[in-house]
Structure 1
């Protein structure tokens, strides 16, 4: 391994029970990085998470498909090639109510932590 860079060939695959693929390339689960996490995700059609109020900024870049964001009283739909930053402390719900999978990158700063996502009970 080089002291000047690290190529991630084996991202940490987060176990899920909702059909969503989460491959964390850098972050707490993959390499112990607390400053930032970068994950490749694929949300299946019909997928959604409970509302949450994270203690980190979350950037999302849509690669394929569409993803829905509920922020306050707004429903925002992003498509391939679009991105969004949701600031920490903002209540948000992520979903894919569409007929096709949504592939995207999620970057959290500081790194994603289940202890800091603050998901609500469904």
Structure 2
């Protein structure tokens, strides 16, 4: 029995806000312990505040991404990364004029049941 599995095609997660989400590993591939996703956030994109029940690691590949974490605003650029602990109140956005490409890793895997998005 092989002790590895190759992922040949990420699952494209449907969105209504123009953001591209390609889940490489996660709940869509029967891996609830971790999710790894390639994302592209278009210019002037944002999500509602949320208080996730998972740790999230983000690595910026291209562009910039804004993070509002418990009221503090941070901007990360290409080559930078961040770990945000579960339970933090977060709002992700790209208020800039160029798209932002990044990797997101969540432990345990991202799920709508754990993201705890606020209604705006």
Q: TM-score range by the shorter chain?
A: over 0.9
Q: CA deviation at 1:4?
A: 2.2
Corresponding residue number in structure 1 for 2:111 = 113
Corresponding residue number in structure 1 for 2:82 = 84
SS of residue matched to 2:83: strand
Distance of 1:64 and 1:7 partners within structure 2:
26
Q: Could you list the runs of 5+ residues in structure 2 that have no partner in the other structure?
A: none
SS of residue matched to 2:40: strand
SS of residue matched to 2:22: strand
Corresponding residue number in structure 1 for 2:23 = 24
Distance of 2:116 and 2:71 partners within structure 1:
19
SS of residue matched to 2:113: helix
Deviation by residue 1:1-42 (Cα, 9 ceiling, x = unmatched): x7222221111100001110000000001x110110000000
Question: RMSD in angstroms over aligned alpha carbons?
Answer: 0.9
Q: CA deviation at 1:73?
A: 2.3
Corresponding residue number in structure 2 for 1:100 = 98
Q: Could you list the runs of 5+ residues in structure 1 that have no partner in the other structure?
A: none
**1:15 and 2:25 aligned:** no
What TM-score results when the alignment is normalised by the length of structure 1? 0.96
Question: Stretches of 4+ moved more than 3 A in 1?
Answer: none
